[in-house]
C-alpha cells in the first residue's frame, strides 16, 4: 500500500490514538504510552514487517502529534473543490507557469 491509501491509513491510526488517549485520560484518569501502543497495534495487525517497525512508529507518532495539536476544525468545501479542480486542470497560475516551462523545455529537446 502506498500513496493516498498509505496516508489515509496513517491518519486513521493516529486519530484512533488521539481518541484512545482522550478516553483513557477522561474515563480512567490514566496515560497511554503512544509509541508502545503503536508497536502493539503492529503486533496485533501486522501492518509492517519487523524491519519497518521503526519507520512505522515514527510516521504514526508524527501524525498523532499533528492530529493531537490540530487547531483548524473545518475548511470551505467549495474552495477545496476549486483548488482540486485547478490542480487537475492546470488553471492556477503556478501550474500554468510549470506547463509553459515544460513546453519550452520540450521544444528545446525537439530536433
Ordered by start, the domain boundaries in the chain are 3-68, 77-109
pLDDT digits (tens, 9 = 90+) for 15-74: 999 999 999 998 888 899 999 999 999 999 999 999 999 999 999 999 999 999 999 999
CA dihedral angle for residue 3, residue 50, residue 56, residue 41, rounded to 10 degrees:
110
Looking at residue 102, its pLDDT comes to 84
Query: In the prediction, which pLDDT does 60 show?
Result: 98
Q: Using an 8 Å Cβ cutoff, are 42 and 56 in contact? A: yes
Q: What pLDDT was estimated at residue 111? A: 63
Read off the pLDDT band of 84 (50, 70, 90). confident
pLDDT of residue 6: 92
pLDDT at 86 over 90: no
Provide DSSP, 43-87. Answer: HHH--S-GGGHHHHHHHHHHHHHHHHT-------HHHHHHHHHHH
Residue 25's H or E segment, with its range, is helix 3-28
CB atoms within 10 A of CB 21: 17
For 90, the 3-state DSSP assignment is coil
Confidence band of 9 (pLDDT split at 50, 70, 90): very high
Amino acid at each position: 500500500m502506498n500513496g493516498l491509501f498509505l496516508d489515509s491509513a496513517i491518519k486513521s491510526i493516529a486519530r484512533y490514538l488521539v481518541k484512545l488517549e482522550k478516553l483513557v485520560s477522561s474515563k480512567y484518569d490514566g496515560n497511554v504510552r503512544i509509541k508502545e501502543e503503536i508497536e502493539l497495534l503492529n503486533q496485533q495487525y501486522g501492518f509492517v514487517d519487523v524491519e519497518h517497525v521503526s519507520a512505522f512508529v515514527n510516521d504514526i507518532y508524527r501524525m498523532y502529534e499533528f492530529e493531537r495539536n490540530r487547531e483548524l476544525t473545518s475548511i470551505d468545501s467549495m474552495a477545496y473543490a476549486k483548488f482540486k479542480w485547478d490542480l487537475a486542470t492546470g488553471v492556477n497560475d503556478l501550474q500554468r507557469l510549470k506547463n509553459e516551462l515544460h513546453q519550452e523545455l520540450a521544444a528545446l529537446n525537439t530536433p
